[in-house]
Amino acid sequence: MKEVTHINGANARSGGLSKFLQFTKANKNIFIQYSSLILVFSFFMIMSNGDLLSVVNLQTIIRQLAVLFIITVGLMFVFSHGNMDISVGGVIALTSMIVTFTLNAGASLFVATLVAIVVSVGCYLLNIFIANQFKLMAVIASLAIMFSTRGVVTYMVSTSNESIKVEDISKLALFSSNLTFTITSLIVIAIVGIVLFNYSKIGKQNKAVGDNPLAAMQSGVDVKKSKVISYLIAGIMIGFASMFSLARSYTVSENSGMGLEMDVIVALVLGGMALSGGSKSKISSAIVGSITLVLLNNGLIMIGVRPEIVSLVKGIIFLIVVFFILRRPRTEVIPR
Amino acid sequence: MKTLLKKVLLLTVISVLLAACGAKSNDSSEANDSDKKQTDDGFTIGVMLYNYTDVQGKEIKSYGDYLAEHFNVNFNYATVGTSEEDHIAALENLIASGVDAVISGYDTSLEQSLQLAEQAKVYYGVALGDVRDDVSSEYFVGGLYNFGEKPETIGAQYAQAAYEAGVKNIGVTSFQEFAFVDAPAIISGFKEKLAELDPANEITVYDTEYHMFGPEDVSSAVTKVISDHPEVDAIFGLGSGMDFVYPAILNSTKPDIKVLALGYNDSTPAALENGSVLAAGTNNYSQIIANVFAQLYDRLNGHEYTDWELNGSVDYPIFSSVEEVEDFQKYIVPGDKSNGAVTVEELKQVMKTFNENATWQELQQLTTRTLSEIKEAR
């Protein structure tokens, strides 16, 4: 009798392990998605002797997260189409510059925020208009927008006798020093992003278009409209993010927003996003990825990694994530 | 199961690799434990630069390591991007890591940077440029005139080299004025000195061709100078003269054009020897870091110069012969910094922490010594 119980126990344990493995396999992508965050977090927690979670550093991380988080959530709607956007840095620079002029002209913060959103939405609608009208890949259209916006900012900066900066920085206090507002904004944006992406027609249609535009169209999805809506959402988010960006430095230069486009792509890949878009796209990729990237950049300086090997360390971490992602079917990863 | 095991193994191996990479920035030597002890007992100074791979970055890091050996201080080197956001993020990260002071290469987002520094009670200095006089903070030690207080004199030295070489038609290329604010003064000094040396007006200096920051931008500017003025026989390159202008000329339709270069790299000695470069120059990075470090270290120890001014000065060594460039290598950028432009002993003499009679003016005198003065002091 005792032997039977023992055998049953062993079977139960074996069944438990089997169930766990099945669960792991079924949720492989979720594990992959969070593995980079867990790896980066654990590594820097150990290396910094826990300083990573000090109050000062947590505040630092939240401040640094704001811009990238909002942008990445916004652009998730574009990337889920299988599209790619590389104009975000230029749009942020142009928007910040116009907001600076608006604030310096005496406008209130509310008006300036509206202006930021209008300018950014304008850029993104122009982006998708060019892509739709001339049947271009969206990335080509975004290239044009990037050069144009960057060109305008560079011209304005180079012809201006004085640096372009916000004269009354107290106007931006809400975005620069109010941590409660920043956290609330991030939470609200995350919730809005999750609801829109996972539970609304907009998100579902986006993913359908990303999987197969023709099939989506034949199923009744207005592909062009779906794309325009996603660019509209991205524009709103990026306009809002530009307020946080400007509040970080109060100045605009030809380098403003430089490299943000790459940060977004890196964040999405770190978050386990399939750049081909489609039904495998998850809004959590934007959330997890942006947190991972900010933690990575923060941690490398926190623990004082030698500058010569910073890129190497980033590369290794990136490689780990890509290694896991590349194990997935090719169509899930490579953009069309 | 095998695949899972492989992945776990891979993760473990890479984690170990990462742990190995995660050494502290000043652990380039084998003395990890002693460095850590020094950090715990002393000050940590953050350094922010675009990179540590060019002459500028390498020299700054090398001199920092030299200082770390002789002062109770450790350096945390951070690589920053060019955007304001990147600069602020790097500063925040350094502050969060617990630095006591920061040497920033640039005056990017200076107001916001000073605000952050004040909040964290961290001293802040700008190394690679002077700063406007409308910024102030009790935690700010100021900036540095990297081309001396009168950049015109730099231009005059290049004019002398051009005149002595006998070139007659000189093009000028430079980064845009908004990015290189000293360029107009240097060019002005160049033209004025040539006018003085050449009263018969036999030498022509063409209008400056301004360009952006990429090598392709410089190449386009050089091409434009050559196509607009086919008779050009020398180019005064203010925008990365050795790294960008010199290769652009070598790859142009007139590779025999002589170069007057603001800049220095490993090609400079050979180029001076074969005569393709008439003069070259670069910042004295030891003087730069010595100047900012001395002020930060004094402030951290509760000392402040009574005759302090917002912007200090360093020398800009220019060399036009092989002998001079050899002296430059020996006395300005030597591997052993105890034979270099500013030794620890010299620096301590002008620091309030070690000499209560030291003055800010004496510090400036030390960090504006010319190549010949440094050579004499050795």
Residue of B93, B176, B179 with shortest CB distance to A60: B93
Matching residue, tokens 């700008």: B126
Task: Name the token pair of A240.
Answer: 């809002």
- Give the Cα separation of B240 and A146 in Å (integer): 26
Instruction: Give me the amino acid identity at A292.
Output: T
Q: Do A310 and B79 touch (CB under 8 A)?
A: yes
**Which residue, B213, B218, B220, B207, is CA-closest to B170?**
B207
Nearest CA to CA, how far is A308 from chain B (Å)? 7
- Please indicate, yes or no, if residue A20 is contained in any of the structural domains: no
| First and final C-alpha spacing in chain A | 62
Asked, colleague to colleague, whether B41-146+284-317+347-377 and B152-281 share their fold, the answer is yes
- Give the Cα separation of B309 and B360 in Å (integer): 8
- Mean pLDDT check: name the lowest of A41-50, A240-249, A307-316, B230-239: A307-316
- Give the Cα separation of A124 and A83 in Å (integer): 13
Instruction: Give me the amino acid identity at B141.
Output: V
Q: B236 with B170: CB under 8 angstroms?
A: yes
Q: Which residues contact B139 (CB under 8 A, 6 or more apart)?
A: B114, B117, B118, B121, B122, B123, B124, B299
Q: A252 with A96: CB under 8 angstroms?
A: yes
Touching A: B residues 120-149, CB under 8 Å: 120
| pLDDT score at B39 | 47
Where in chain A does DSSP place strands (E)? 164-165, 251-252
Nearest CA to CA, how far is A247 from chain B (Å)? 9
Which secondary structure element, helix H or strand E, spans residue B52, and what is its range? none
- Please indicate, yes or no, if residue A233 is contained in any of the structural domains: yes
The upper half-sphere exposure of residue A246, i.e. CA atoms within 13 Å in the direction of its Cβ, equals 35
pLDDT at A152 over 90: yes
Q: Give CA A171 to chain center in angstroms.
A: 27
Hey, what CATH class is B152-281 in?
alpha beta
Instruction: Give me the amino acid identity at A87.
Output: S
Residue of A158, A251, A301 with shortest CB distance to B109: A251
Q: B68 with B75: CB under 8 angstroms?
A: yes
H helix intervals, B166-284: 183-197, 215-228, 246-250, 268-273
**Which residue, B356, B347, B365, is CA-closest to B63?**
B347
> Number of structural domains, chain A?
1
H helix intervals, B145-182: 152-165
Going by pLDDT thresholds of 50, 70 and 90, the confidence category of residue A220 is confident
Tell me if chain B has a CB within 8 Å of the CB of A64: yes
Which chain A residue lies closest to B113 (C-alpha atoms)? A249
Instruction: Give me the amino acid identity at A142.
Output: S
Touching A: B residues 71-90, CB under 8 Å: 76-79, 81-90
CB-CB neighbours of A231 under 10 Å: 30
- Give the Cα separation of B90 and B299 in Å (integer): 22
Task: Name the token pair of A214.
Answer: 């023709």
What's the mean pLDDT in A247-254? 89
Touching A: B residues 149-178, CB under 8 Å: 176-178
Touching B: A residues 260-289, CB under 8 Å: 260
Count the residues in chain B: 378
| CATH of residue A147 | 1.10.3470
Which chain A residue lies closest to B109 (C-alpha atoms)? A249
CB-CB neighbours of A17 under 10 Å: 11
Cα distances (Å, whole numbers) of residue A119 to A86, A92, A95, A141, A168? 17, 10, 6, 17, 21
- Mean pLDDT check: name the lowest of A183-192, A316-325, B56-65, B215-224: A316-325
Ordered per-residue pLDDT tens for chain B, 378 residues: 555 555 554 445 444 444 444 444 444 333 333 333 344 558 999 999 988 888 889 999 999 999 999 998 999 999 888 888 889 999 999 998 889 999 999 888 888 899 999 999 999 999 998 888 788 889 999 999 988 878 899 999 999 999 999 999 999 999 888 778 889 999 999 999 999 998 888 899 999 999 888 888 899 999 999 999 999 999 999 988 888 999 999 988 889 999 999 988 888 889 998 989 999 999 899 999 999 999 999 999 999 999 999 999 999 999 888 888 889 989 988 988 888 899 999 999 999 999 999 999 999 999 999 988 998 888
Q: Which residues in chain A have their CB less than 8 angstroms from residue B111's CB?
A: 165, 169, 250-251
- Give domain limits for chain B: 41-146+284-317+347-377, 152-281
CA-based R_g, chain A, Å? 22
Q: What's the DSSP call for residue B356?
A: T
Residue pairs spanning A and B at CB distance below 8 A = 146
- Please indicate, yes or no, if residue A66 is contained in any of the structural domains: yes
Q: Do B92 and A60 touch (CB under 8 A)?
A: yes
- Give the Cα separation of B16 and A71 in Å (integer): 33
Query: Is the torsion defined by CA of B214, B216, B220, B225 positive or negative?
Result: positive
What's the mean pLDDT in A275-297? 87
Matching residue, tokens 């992003």: A193
| pLDDT score at B13 | 46
Q: Do A307 and B61 touch (CB under 8 A)?
A: yes
A27-79: per-residue pLDDT in tens? Answer: 766 776 777 788 888 888 888 888 888 888 898 899 999 999 999 999 999 99
A69-122: per-residue pLDDT in tens? Answer: 999 999 999 999 888 889 999 999 999 999 999 999 999 999 999 999 999 999
Q: Which residues in chain A have their CB less than 8 angstroms from residue B212's CB?
A: 154
- Give the Cα separation of B248 and A325 in Å (integer): 42
The upper half-sphere exposure of residue B169, i.e. CA atoms within 13 Å in the direction of its Cβ, equals 9
- Give the Cα separation of B237 and B52 in Å (integer): 23
Q: Do B83 and A256 touch (CB under 8 A)?
A: yes
Q: B125 with B297: CB under 8 angstroms?
A: no
Domain carrying residue A43: 32-333
Q: Do B27 and A310 touch (CB under 8 A)?
A: no
Q: A182 with A245: CB under 8 angstroms?
A: no
| pLDDT score at A305 | 80
pLDDT at A3 over 70: no
- Give the Cα separation of B356 and B350 in Å (integer): 9
**Which residue, B338, B321, B234, is CA-closest to B281?**
B321
| pLDDT score at B41 | 59
Query: Is the torsion defined by CA of B337, B341, B345, B351 positive or negative?
Result: negative
| pLDDT score at B9 | 47
Matching residue, tokens 């510059």: A97
- Give the Cα separation of A34 and B236 in Å (integer): 55
**Which residue, A290, A297, A174, is CA-closest to A240?**
A174
For chain A, percent helix, then strand, then coil, each to nearest 5?
80, 0, 20
Touching B: A residues 145-174, CB under 8 Å: 154, 157-158, 160, 165, 169
Task: Name the token pair of A236.
Answer: 């709103």
Q: Give CA B1 to chain center in angstroms.
A: 55
Q: Give CA B321 to chain center in angstroms.
A: 22
Sequence-separated contacts (24+) of B244-249 with Cβ below 8 Å:
B244/B215, B244/B218, B244/B219, B245/B173, B245/B218, B246/B271, B246/B276, B246/B277, B247/B215, B248/B215, B248/B218, B248/B219, B248/B221, B248/B222, B248/B223, B249/B222
| pLDDT score at B16 | 45
- Give the Cα separation of A72 and A80 in Å (integer): 12
Q: What's the DSSP call for residue B46?
A: E
- Give the Cα separation of B146 and B283 in Å (integer): 7
Q: What is the DSSP string of A182-224?
A: HHHHHHHHHHHHHIIIIISHHHHHHHHHHH-HHHHHHTT--HH
| First and final C-alpha spacing in chain B | 68
Phi, psi of B78 (to 5 degrees): -120, 135
- Give the Cα separation of A58 and B183 in Å (integer): 42
CA-based R_g, chain B, Å? 23
Q: What's the DSSP call for residue B336?
A: S
Q: What is the CATH number of domain B41-146+284-317+347-377?
A: 3.40.50.2300
- Give the Cα separation of A317 and B218 in Å (integer): 36
Q: Do B18 and A251 touch (CB under 8 A)?
A: no
Task: Name the token pair of B39.
Answer: 């950090």
Residue A275, SS3 per DSSP: coil
The C-alpha angle B124, B127, B130, rounded to 5 degrees, equals 95
- Give the Cα separation of A44 and A22 in Å (integer): 31
- Give the Cα separation of A105 and A108 in Å (integer): 9
